[in-house]
Amino acid sequence: MLIRLIYLSRAVDPQTHALTEAILRKAHVWNAENGITGVLCEGQGVFLQVLEGERAKVTRLYARIFADPRHQDLELIHCETIAERRYAQWSMARVSLSDVDPQTRIEWPEFDPYSAHGQRIMARIDALVEKGRVVDVPPAHGVPS
Ligand SMILES: Cc1cc2nc3c(=O)[nH]c(=O)nc-3n(C[C@H](O)[C@H](O)[C@H](O)COP(=O)(O)O)c2cc1C
């Protein structure tokens, strides 16, 4: 059974290139081996991540991510059973929530992801992906859909 899970968190340290690289390097390998696909939006001190895959695998991964000391204030935004993946081609793509780009910037306090509804946050992530704001696309791993 496939599920899609979305969570939100705050980075503990500044979100440097090195931090993002370290997270994604691990994610690309483990996710490809375990049939996880998704998107990691990061910037302005927050992470917004979509995880798709078999329910047991996503649950295990979420537990590990939850315990990761590089971020805090994790909140589960959305979780649903899905018929098919939305991001089947990505073991973990990256979207930059850059504060210098009006297209991706989070407008605090008008759009505070910590108080916004899950549907609104999902729509925001979809819009970023549709507008081609994916800045880092991992190699295809042929994850089954
Ligand atoms: C924001 C964020 C997103 C992450 N996403 C993933 C991911 O998609 N897949 C993954 O395997 N690890 C991801 N990690 C790393 C895990 O939290 C964890 O560090 C890693 O799986 C290694 O776990 P271990 O030290 O228990 O082996 C992420 C970490 C952070 C902070």
> Quick check: 6 pLDDT over 70?
yes
Amino acid at 141: H
145 is a domain residue: no
CATH number, position 27: 3.30.70.100
pLDDT(138) > 90: no
Strand 37-43 to 2-11 pairing: unpaired
What's the whole-number mean pLDDT along residues 107-114?
A: 90
Do the domain assignments include residue 142?
no
Looking at the domain assignment, is residue 42 inside a domain? yes
Distance 127 CA to ligand 1 centre (A): 25
Q: Which range marks the domain in which residue 51 is found?
A: 2-136
User: What per-residue confidence (pLDDT) applies to 124?
Assistant: 92
The Å distance, Cα 64 to ligand 1 centre, comes to 6
What pLDDT does 141 receive?
58
- pLDDT tops 70 at residue 144: no
Is residue 92 in a domain? yes
Across the range 119-126, mean pLDDT stands at 92
Q: Could you count the other beta carbons within 10 Å of the beta carbon of residue 52? A: 26
Exposure string for 95-128, b = 16+ CB within 10 A, e = fewer: bbbbeeeeebebeeeeeebeebebeebbebbeeb
Q: Count of domains in the chain?
A: 1
Ligand 1 atom nearest 64 alpha carbon: 17
Crossing angle of helices 55-66 and 17-34, in 10° steps, is 150
Considering the domain boundaries, does residue 143 fall inside one? no
**Residue 80 pLDDT level (bands cut at 50, 70, 90):** very high
Is 19's C-beta closer than 6 angstroms to any atom of ligand 1?
A: no
Whether 54 is in a domain gets the answer yes
Pocket of ligand 1 contains residue 61 by CB under 6 Å: yes
Cα 86 to ligand 1 centroid, rounded to whole Å: 21
Q: How confident is the model at residue 33 (pLDDT cuts 50, 70, 90)?
A: very high
